[in-house]
Amino acid sequence: MKITVNLLVEWQATDAGSAARAERVLWVSPSRSEIIVIDIFNRAALPIRRSYDEVAHALAVGAASALGADPFMTLLRSDDDIDVKHRAYRDTAWELIAPLVSDEMMALHLFSSERGSLIKRRCDETGRSKRLVYKYLRQYW
**pLDDT of 91 above 70:** yes
Q: What is the percent of the chain where pLDDT is above 90?
A: 52
Q: List the strands of the sheet with 21-28, edge to edge.
A: 48-51, 34-39, 21-28, 8-11, 64-66
Q: Who's near 128: CB < 8 A, 6+ residues apart?
A: 96, 122
User: For residues 46 and 72, what is the distance between their CA atoms, to the nearest angstrom?
Assistant: 18
Exposed, middle or buried, 64 (CB in 10 Å: 0-12/13-18/19+)?
Answer: buried
pLDDT value of position 95: 93
Stretch 76-91: mean pLDDT, rounded?
89
Instruction: Name the fold adopted by 8-66.
Output: SH3 type barrels. (2.30.30)
pLDDT tens digits, residue range 96-113?
A: 999 888 766 666 666 777
Give the alpha-carbon dihedral of 59, 8, 136, 116, to 10 degrees: 20
Q: How many CB atoms neighbour CB 34 within 10 A?
A: 15
Stretch 108-126: mean pLDDT, rounded?
83
User: For residues 93 and 115, what is the distance between their CA atoms, to the nearest angstrom?
Assistant: 18
pLDDT value of position 52: 96
**pLDDT of 68 above 90:** no
**pLDDT of 16 above 70:** no
Domain boundaries, the chain: 8-66, 77-140
pLDDT tens digits, residue range 20-58?
A: 789 999 989 899 999 999 999 998 888 888 999 999 999
pTM of the model: 0.80
**pLDDT of 15 above 90:** no
DSSP code of residue 139? H
